[in-house]
Amino acid sequence: MTDSVSITLWATNLAVPLAGPQDWLDRLERVVVEAKAEGSALVIAPEYVSEQWLTYHGHDAALTDEPARMAESGAALVPGIQALADTHGMDIMAGSWPVPRPDGRYSNGAHLFRAGGDAPLIQRKLCMTPSEKDPASWGIVPHEEMQVFEWNGLKCAIVICLDIELPALSMKFAQTAPDLDIIFCPSMTEKLSGYSRVFGCAKARAVELMTTVAVCGVIGSTPLGEGRPNVSGAAVYLPCEAELGFDGRFAEIGPFNEAPVGDDLGPRLHAKNIPIGVVRKLRASQPEVWPGAWTGEGVSVTRVADRAASLKKSA
C-alpha cells in the first residue's frame, strides 16, 4: 500500500484564447514538466477545461451546439494527452468535457490518463446544475454509476463539482467503499458562492469519510461572447485530527478570479507527501470522535410544531 503521494492541482486559466489544439497541449505539457520536477505522480485539471477549446472554433456557436464541439475536440486531443503521459511518465487527470451517449446526448466525463495506458478511465458526473442540464443551453445528462478504482496503490474516486455537495453520495461511499484513500474533485464555479460550496463540502467529505479530498477549479473569464467568469482555486483536505495538523487543511490556494500577473497558465498547487498512510491508520484505529459509517438507522425526525398541534387536538 502507498503511504504518501504527491500531486499537482492546476487551477486552469480559461482567459487565454487558443489558436488550436496543440496550443492547449503545449500548456498542459508545461504543467506536466513542472509537476514532474516537483515530484508529483499526478496532474489534476478541472471540470470543463474544454470551454477554452471553444476559442479556436470561433464564437459563433449556439449554446446548444457547444457540447458537440467540445466532445469532438476532446476526442481529437485524447491521443496527444496520452502521448504526454507516456513521454513524461506522468499520470494526468485531464479535467472533464462532454462525452457522447448512445442516445445522442452528452454527459460530463472526467478523464484519467495513465502513463503507458491504453485508454483513459472516464468518470461521468451524476448530478447536473440547472444551467448545465437546461435543454436550451448545454443539455448535459446525468450518469448513474460511480467508480472506485485503484491508482498508484490507492483506492480512489473522481467526484465532479456538484457531486461533492451531495451527502447521499458520501453515505454510499461510507457503506460500499469505507477504505477509500482519496477523492479527486474537478470543478467549475462562476461565483465565490459556488467555490465556497464546492470547497467547503470537499472538506466536509474528508471529515465524514475519514479520507483525503483533492479539489481544483478553473479560473478566469473565458473570451467567448461577453465572457464567462470563473472563480476557484485548489486544495487538499484531510480529516480534522491532531496527528494531521488539527484543521484539515493540508494545502490550499485561492480563491482566484484571474491568473497571477506574468503567469498565464493559472495557479498550480504542488501538494507534496500527502499522508495517506496516517489517515488510513487513523480510520482503522483511533480518530478523536469519528463514528465510522454512521447511517442514522433508528433515528426519527419529528416536526415539533406539528406534534404539539396533534397533542392539543387529541386533548
Say which residues have a Cβ less than 8 Å from residue 170's Cβ, sequence separation at least 6.
205, 208, 209
Nearest to residue 182, comparing CAs of 239, 125, 144? 239
Tally of CB atoms within 10 A around 154: 20
pLDDT above 90 coverage of the chain, percent: 86
Identify the pLDDT of residue 308: 60
**In contact, 53 and 21? CB cutoff 8 Å:** yes
Banded model confidence at residue 187, pLDDT cuts 50, 70, 90: very high
Instruction: For cell 487543511, name the residue.
Output: 249
State the architecture of 5-314 in CATH terms: 4-Layer Sandwich (3.60)
pLDDT digits (tens, 9 = 90+) for 82-133: 999 999 999 999 999 999 999 999 999 999 999 999 999 999 999 999 999 9
Instruction: For cell 506522468, name the residue.
Output: 90
Banded model confidence at residue 270, pLDDT cuts 50, 70, 90: very high
Identify the pLDDT of residue 314: 66
Identify the pLDDT of residue 228: 87
Banded model confidence at residue 226, pLDDT cuts 50, 70, 90: confident
Q: Give the residue-averaged pLDDT of 14-36.
A: 97
DSSP 48: T
Each domain of the chain, given as residue ranges in start order, spans: 5-314
Identify the pLDDT of residue 306: 65
Q: Give the residue-averaged pLDDT of 169-174.
A: 95
Q: Give the residue-averaged pLDDT of 292-304.
A: 88
Q: Does the pLDDT of residue 313 top 80, yes or no?
A: no
